[in-house]
Structure 1
Amino acid sequence: MKKIFCILFVFGSLVCKAQNNLNLVPMPAQVKIEKGAFNIDKNTTIVLEGTGLEQISSLLNDYMQQSVGYRLKVTKNYTGANAIRLNNKRLDNKITGAYVFTSNDKGINIAGNDESGIFYGIQTFFQLLPAAKDKQPTGPRGQTTNNKLSIPQLTINDYPRFPYRGIHLDVGRHFFPISFVKKYIDYLAAYKFNTFHWHLTEDQGWRIEIKKYPELTKIGGWRNGTIIGRYPGKGNDNKPYGGFYTQAEIKEVVQYAKERYIDVIPEIEMPGHSSAAIAAYPWLSCFPAKPTEIPAKMISQKSIAEQKAGRIKLVQETWGVFDDVFCAGNETTFTFLKNVIDEVITLFPSKYFHLGADECPKAHWKLCPACQQRMKDNNLKDEHELQSWFVQRIEKYVNSKGKTMIGWDEILEGGLAPNAVVMSWRGEKGGIEAAKQKHPVIMTPGNPVYFDHTQSKNEDSVTIGGYNPIENVYAYEPIPKELNAEEGKYILGAQANMWTEYMEYPSKIEYQLFPRITALSEALWSPKEKRNWKDFERRLPVIFERLDKHKINYSKAYYDLQTNVSPSADQSGLIIWKLDSKNKDQEITATYTGPLRIFLQQKGTGNVTIPVTHQGTYTAKMNVASNKEVILTQSFFLNKATGKKITLATQPSKSYPGDGAFTLVNGVQNEKGMSKTSEFLGFNGTDMDAIIDLKTEMDISQVTVHVLEQNGSWIYLPAQVEVTYIPDVDFTEADLKNFPSTIRKIDPLADKGTKTITVENKQKCRYIKVKAKNYGIIPAANPGSGNPAWLFVDEIEVQ
C-alpha cells in the first residue's frame, strides 16, 4: 500500500466555528455555502468515475484510516447516495489543476480536468473536515460523533492562477535525508504547490550519485568541517560533514512527488559553485595544481593536514562565492557535464533541467590560456560573453535531450540562450527584461520570497540576513507592474527559495518555511481579486493551532510586538517609539529607567506610544499567557540629527528600504549586523546622498556615518565620505561647491571590519550634506566579483 503522508493532513480540518466562514488555504476562486451537511460513515462509498484514479482514492482512504479508524469501499459501479465521487471527466474550465467540489445531503462530488485537479479537490476536502484531536502520533483524528465526519454543504469552483507554484530546497550546503525530503514534499502538496526545485550540488557538497563519476560523492559529497556561526564565522567546527542520495533514492523521491502531482526539477550548478566537483576531479578546474583557498581562520585542521600532505583541491568549508569554477576552455569539461546531464535526466521526468549559472566569478577565466583561446576562437569580447557561450552550449545539449533549461537571471548577461527559462532572483529586473524578450520567467526575488531570510525584526536565530515577514510574502505580486498584459503572460509563476547555510536540521527548515508557505500558496493559487490580508489573518490562528497540535516547528514572529520609530510632526528632533500588538486586548507597558532616577512609563491596550526624550534603553512588556511575558528592548542614541528632516537624492534598493530616509536619523544604531538588515538602507551600486535640516544653525564638530562591511555578502564600505556644511540660507545644488566640505577617503579592502566613519571639522551650519560614495564594482577574487557593490548605511550621527 502506498503510505499516505501523515503530516500533510495536519493542515486539514480548518472549518471555522463561525458557521459560514471557511478557513481554507489557499482560498478558492469561488465558494457558495448552503445550509446542511453531509455525514461520512462506514457505509460511505468512494466511486471512481474515470480512469487513473486508483492512487488518489488510496490516499483518500489512507486518510480515512487515520481519521476514524476505517477505510471506505472503493468501486466504479455505484449510483446510490452516501458516496464520495471522484470524476476526471473534462470541465468547462480548461486550466490544469481546476476542480469543482460539491457536497449535499447525498454525498460529495470532486470533478477535475485531470487527476491533479481531483487531487487538489481532495486537499480542500481534508481542510473541510472537522478539527483534529490532540497529539495523535499517526496523524489527526477527526472529532466525530458515532464515527462520522461532517462536511458542510457547498459548491467550490477552483483553479490555480499561475501554472508554476514552486518551493526550493538547497541540500548542498546542508544535507537532509529522503525521509525529510518527502515530508517537505508533503508540505508543498498540502498547499497546492506543484513544483519542487531540488538544489543538488554546491561548493560545499555534491549530493547526487553519478555512476560514471563515483568520486563526485565519495570525495565531493564530504567536507572536513564547517565554519561556526554567521559568515565569516568564528572558526571551524572540525567535524566531517556530508551525505548524498543514491540514484535509487532519487527515483523514490521523484515517484513520491509524482503521486502528489509535484514536478521535481533537478539543479546541477555550473559553471560556478563547483568546488565540490573540482575537489573530486581537479582537471575540471582552470588550474588543477592551484590549491583550494580557504581563509586561515575558517579552514579545518584536517584540511590543513591534507594540504600539507599534498592534497590540492578541497570541498569548501565556508559560505560565499569562489573563483575555482569549471574551465570553459577545456573540452573535457563539456564531456564531463554531458555525461552528468545524461545520468541526471534519466532520473527526473520533468521537462525542465536547471543549470544554475549564477554567481560565477571570472577571475580564473581571465588568467586561463584555454579560456582566453576559447574567447578568441569564438569572437567573444569578454568573460561575460564566455559564460553566455558556455550556457548556450549546455542549453543546446539539454534541448537535444528533449528538456528545457532554466537558469538564474545571470544567464541574461552576455546574451540570453534562445530557449531558456529565466529564474529572477536579484530582484525583479531580470524577470522584467526576460519577459520583454518573450522568454518564460519564474519570479523568485530575494525580497520577499527568500525563506532563508528572517521573519522577525527581533533576532531569534542565525539567518543569512534580510527581513521577509509573512505580510510581505502575502502581498507579493509575481507580475511586475512594469509589464503590460501581453508581457505579463510570460510570467509562469513564482517560488520561494530555501538556502541552507544556517539550517542544519529539519526543525530549522520548518521554522523558516512556516507560516510563510501558507501566504505564498494563496499569492500563487487564488485569483488576485480574492486575496485579502485581513481575511487571511483571520485564518492564521487556526493554522497555528494545527501546527502546535502536531509539533511542527514554526515561527511565531506574527505575534511579535510590532515596533515603529517615527519623528514628531514638526521634525524638530523628538522621536516617538510606538508598539502594536496583533491582539488588541493585550496591555502593553513601555518604560525607561535612566540615571538620576529618571523614570518614564506609558501603558496602552493593543498599542502604546512613548516619546524618546532621553538616550538609553527602553523596555516594552506584554503578557501573552499565564506566567508568560513578551519583553522587548530598544536602545536609542540621540544626537543633533536625530528626528530631523532628511532627504535623499537617490532612493535605496527596494530589497533594503529600511524605513526610508528617516532610517538614517531615527536614533537606532544597528548592533546586530546582517541579522537586522531592516535597520539599514541598502544601495546597490549607487551612492548614499543625504541632506539633513537641523532646523537652526548649530555648532558642529563631527559627523559619523554608521555602515556595514560584509564582503562575503557583497557589502562594502564606501570609497569615501564627503560632508558639506551649509549655513541657514536658501541654496541650490549648484551652490554646494561654495560651502566648506570635508572628504575622508577610505580603502574598503584595508579597513575591514570598520563600522563607523567619522569626519571631523568644526563648523556652524543649519544643513549638512553627507555623501557616501559607493565602492563600485567588486574586484576579482572576491565573492560577487564583477557585480556592483552594496553600500549599507545605518545612521548619520551629528555632534
Structure 2
Amino acid sequence: MTHREDGTIPPEGYRLEITPEAITLSASDAAGRFYGEQTLRQLRGPSAFRAAGFAPDPVPCGVVTDHPRFAWRGCLLDVARNFRTKAEVLRFIDLLAAHKLNVLHFHLTDDQGWRVQIPEFPRLTSVGGWRHGSMVGRHDGPERDGRPHGGFYTTDDLREIVAYAAQRHITVVPEIDVPGHSQAAIAAYPELGTGEPVEVWTSWGVNPRLLDPKESTVDFYRRVLDAVLEIFPSEVIAIGGDEVPGATERHAWFVDRMIEHLESRGRRALGWDEILDGKPATSAIIGSWRGEEAGVVAAKAGHDVVMCPEQHVYLDHRQADHPDEPIPVGFLRTLADFYAYEPYPADLPEDARPRILGAQAQVWTEHLDSVRRVDYAVFPRLCAFAEVVWSSGPRDFGEFSARLAEAHLPRLDALGVEYRALDGPHPWQRRPGVPGRPR
C-alpha cells in the first residue's frame, strides 16, 4: 500500500483508492491514515479482525473518500463501580479504535471505588480501592453479595493505557469525581468529609455523603489533580460535579476552584451539566447528560458541549422490555433508537452549533460486573452510535441493520465480542431473579 500526504483532506479524513494494481491511501494527518487503514481492514473481511492465522479476502476496487462529522466521538467507561483489569481496558480501546471513536472518558473514582494510584495519598487505593461487597441488581433492601471487590491502576499502568490509546488516535480523558460520588475518598481520608469514619459504599445510586468544601479539601484535590496531570496529557480533565444532593454555594465554589486549578496548568475542565448551576468559567466543557436542554443552554452561554443525554446514549440501559433482558435498568433504548439519535438538539440555534464538540456514549457499570456483561450492554448499539458521530447525511436503519448483520457482526465474532444477538440474549447472558429498575 502506498501512502500519500494530501493537505486538502480534512483532519482525520482519508481517501482510499483501490485498483487491480495498487492500493493508495491519502491523508493530511496520522489519524486520517489510521482510519483509512481501519476501512481497508473492514474491506478485507472478518478474518482481518482475528489476532492471527487469517488469509485476507480480495478487496473490491473503488475509491472511498471519508472524514468524521464530529471531532469528539467518545465513550465513557466506568471502572469505579466494577473494576476492569488493564488488559480488559486495552481490549476496550481496540474496540473503540475499530469503530473510529477517538475519546475514552475514563471514570476512575466514585463512591464505590478509587482506581488511580496517587503516591502522595496511598490510602486512596489501599482503603478506597476496594469494598466489602456489592448490591446485586437494583433494590431498596439491605441485601449484598458479601464478595469483596477492588482493584486499581498504578501510574505505570495508566501511562501504558494512555500510550496504547494514543497509538490508536484515542485521547484518554480521566475523571476524578467531586464533590459528590466521593465516599471512597472519604473512607480513605475521613477529614475530607465530616471526619466520621465510613466504609467504601456498597450501594448504587445517589449518595448524600459529600466532600466538605473547605480550604484543606481544595488543597488535597489540587494535589490529586497535579498527580493526574503528570499521567494524562489530555487537554481535558473531567471533574464530575453531578448528583450532589444538598449542594450549597460552597460546593459550587469548590468546583470553581478545580476549574481554575486546571486552567492554571494549561488544561480544561469537563463537568456534568449540574455545574452550570454555579455559573462556571466558559472554559469548562459541559457534558449534557440529564437531557438535551442543558446542552442548548450551555452552548448559548459560550460553553463547548459534549452531548451524552441519558435518554438516548446510555449503554447500560435496557435493550428490550422482555423479561429475559438481564438486570433491566433505565430507559428502553434499542439498536434502532441509538441509530436514530441526533447529537444536534432540534432547538439549538444555528450560531451555537459550533459549540457542540460531538457526542459520547456512556457505559456505567453498576450492573456490568464482568467484561462479558460489558460486551453485552455495549455491542452492537455502540456500532450504531459510532456511525452517527462519524457519518453525515441521511440514515436508513433498514440499510444499516442489513449491513450490520451481514458484514459487521461477523467482525465482532472474529474479535471475540460477546454482543447481544439481534433477537435477544443467549441463555447464558440472562440474569433471572436479579432485580432491575426500569424507567
- Give the TM bin, normalised by the shorter chain: over 0.9
Match of residue 538, structure 1, among 379, 392, 402: 402
Relative contact order, CA 8 A, sep 6+: which one is greater? 2
1:676 Cα deviation (Å)?
4.6
**Residue 5 of structure 2 corresponds to residue 92 of structure 1:** no
Residues 317-716 of structure 1 mapped to structure 2, 5 A cutoff:
317-328=202-213, 330-362=214-246, 383=248, 385-459=249-323, 460-529=325-394, 531-542=395-406, 543-556=408-421, 558-559=422-423, 674-677=436-439
* Structure-2 separation of matches of 1:233 and 1:112: 57
Give the aligned length.
Answer: 432
1:239 Cα deviation (Å)?
1.7
Tell me: CA distance 1:112–1:227, structure 2 relative to 1, closer, same or farther (3 Å): same
1:6 corresponding residue in structure 2: none
2:430 corresponding residue in structure 1: none
* Structure-2 separation of matches of 1:137 and 1:324: 47
Contact 2:50–2:414 under 8 Å retained in 1: no
**Residue 230 of structure 2 corresponds to residue 315 of structure 1:** no
> Deviation digits for residues 434-487 of structure 1, max 9, x if unmatched?
011121000000121000001122132114332111101001000011012211
- Counterpart amino acid of residue 3 in structure 2: L
Structure 1, unaligned runs of 5 or more: 1-83, 144-148, 290-311, 366-382, 562-627, 629-670, 678-799
Contact 1:463–1:502 under 8 Å retained in 2: no
> Deviation digits for residues 386-414 of structure 1, max 9, x if unmatched?
33322211111100101011000001113
Secondary structure (helix, strand or coil) at the match of 2:59 reads strand
Contact 2:114–2:152 under 8 Å retained in 1: yes
Match of residue 237, structure 1, among 145, 159, 180: 145
Tell me: CA distance 1:465–1:419, structure 2 relative to 1, closer, same or farther (3 Å): same
* Structure-1 separation of matches of 2:82 and 2:435: 23
1:634 corresponding residue in structure 2: none
- When Rg is computed on C-alpha atoms for both structures, the one with the higher figure is 1
Higher helix share goes to which structure?
Answer: 2
- Counterpart amino acid of residue 234 in structure 2: S
Contact 1:207–1:217 under 8 Å retained in 2: yes
1:674 Cα deviation (Å)?
5.0
2:28 corresponding residue in structure 1: 113
- Counterpart amino acid of residue 411 in structure 2: R
Match of residue 225, structure 1, among 120, 125, 133: 133
Aligned-pair identity in percent equals 38
Higher strand share goes to which structure?
Answer: 1
1:172 corresponding residue in structure 2: 80
* Structure-2 separation of matches of 1:130 and 1:229: 39
1:210 corresponding residue in structure 2: 118
1:273 Cα deviation (Å)?
0.4
Residues 11-410 of structure 1 mapped to structure 2, 5 A cutoff:
84-87=1-4, 89-93=5-9, 95-132=10-47, 138-139=51-52, 141-142=54-55, 149-233=57-141, 235-285=143-193, 287-289=194-196, 312-328=197-213, 330-362=214-246, 383=248, 385-410=249-274
> Deviation digits for residues 18-75 of structure 1, max 9, x if unmatched?
xxxxxxxxxxxxxxxxxxxxxxxxxxxxxxxxxxxxxxxxxxxxxxxxxxxxxxxxxx
Secondary structure (helix, strand or coil) at the match of 2:47 reads coil
1:417 Cα deviation (Å)?
2.6
1:90 Cα deviation (Å)?
3.2
1:373 corresponding residue in structure 2: none
TM-score by length of 1: 0.52
* Structure-1 separation of matches of 2:411 and 2:42: 11
Residues 776-791 of structure 1 mapped to structure 2, 5 A cutoff:
none
- Counterpart amino acid of residue 288 in structure 1: G
Contact 2:81–2:112 under 8 Å retained in 1: yes
Contact 1:165–1:195 under 8 Å retained in 2: yes
* Structure-1 separation of matches of 2:437 and 2:129: 29
* Structure-1 separation of matches of 2:415 and 2:170: 24
> Deviation digits for residues 522-547 of structure 1, max 9, x if unmatched?
10000133x22121011021222333
> Deviation digits for residues 76-99 of structure 1, max 9, x if unmatched?
xxxxxxxx0122x23313x32011
- Counterpart amino acid of residue 182 in structure 1: L
Secondary structure (helix, strand or coil) at the match of 1:456 reads coil
Contact 2:138–2:437 under 8 Å retained in 1: no
Structure 2, unaligned runs of 5 or more: 428-432
- Counterpart amino acid of residue 350 in structure 1: S
> Deviation digits for residues 154-207 of structure 1, max 9, x if unmatched?
111100000000011000000010100001001100010000000000100000
Secondary structure (helix, strand or coil) at the match of 2:363 reads coil
Contact 2:108–2:115 under 8 Å retained in 1: yes
Tell me: CA distance 1:246–1:422, structure 2 relative to 1, closer, same or farther (3 Å): same
- Counterpart amino acid of residue 275 in structure 1: Q
* Runs of 4+, deviation exceeding 4 Å: 671-676
CA RMSD of aligned residues (A): 2.1
Contact 1:269–1:357 under 8 Å retained in 2: yes
* Structure-2 separation of matches of 1:471 and 1:122: 28
Secondary structure (helix, strand or coil) at the match of 1:497 reads strand
Secondary structure (helix, strand or coil) at the match of 1:413 reads helix
Contact 1:465–1:675 under 8 Å retained in 2: yes
- Counterpart amino acid of residue 189 in structure 2: Y
